[in-house]
Amino acid sequence: MVFELIKKRRSVFPAQYNAVPVEKEFISKLLEAANWAPTHRKTEPWRFKVLMGDKKAQLGDFLSKKYQETEARPKQVKIRKLLENPRKAAAIVAICMQRDPNESVPEWEEIAATAMAVQNMWLCCAEAGVGCYWSSPGLIKHMDEFFDLAKGERCLGFFYIGNYDEEIPDQTRTPIEDKVVWLE
């Protein structure tokens, strides 16, 4: 049931990934699921760049170097994490949003549609028992230096994907009643 799958969805971080690869065919299915997200005026703003193999290490090198260039007091722990996390993932999907050139919908709606596309991928990963995590470091504002982004396209983060062995604990939420006002 979809409700149970939604409750099962978790962030599984690169440090938890094992060395078992994730097949390209599975990633293609994730992207196809993403493509079925709701989109106002059918702008379909989501764009994805899939990094595998050596390209993941290149991303880590870029992020680590850019962090050191832009941070007044770079922390060694963060430098190492930026360098190593991409190498630990089986694949990384750069999550990008292509702004409708006609601006027929507000930008926030296109960002929301892209986020719904990512949620579709996340739910597919949860169903398959594959770990994933959406990272949105401040460094994404520099991704036009790493990727060839189209005019109006921007990077919203990285969707790390990897297999894992450990048990992911159940989560809790505060009651929905604390977040809802019924108006009749």
CA 133 – CA 85 distance, rounded (Å): 11
CB count, 10 Å around CB of 25?
Answer: 8
**22 in the Ramachandran plot: left (φ > 0), alpha (ψ -120 to 50) or beta?**
beta
CB count, 10 Å around CB of 140?
Answer: 19
Q: What is the DSSP letter of 179?
A: G
Strand partners, 162: 131
Tell me if 47 is assigned to a ligand binding site: no
Tell me if 10 is assigned to a ligand binding site: yes
Tell me if 134 is assigned to a ligand binding site: yes
Tell me if 135 is assigned to a ligand binding site: yes
Residue 96 phi/psi, 5-degree rounding, is: -120, 160
Strand partners, 134: 159
Exposure string (b/e) for 48-84, b if CB count within 10 Å is 16 or more?
bbbbbeeebeebbebbbebbeeeeeeeeeeebebbbe
Q: Which amino acid is at 79?
A: I
For the annotated binding site, the residues are 9-11, 40, 134-136
For the annotated binding site for FMN, the residues are 9-11, 40, 134-136
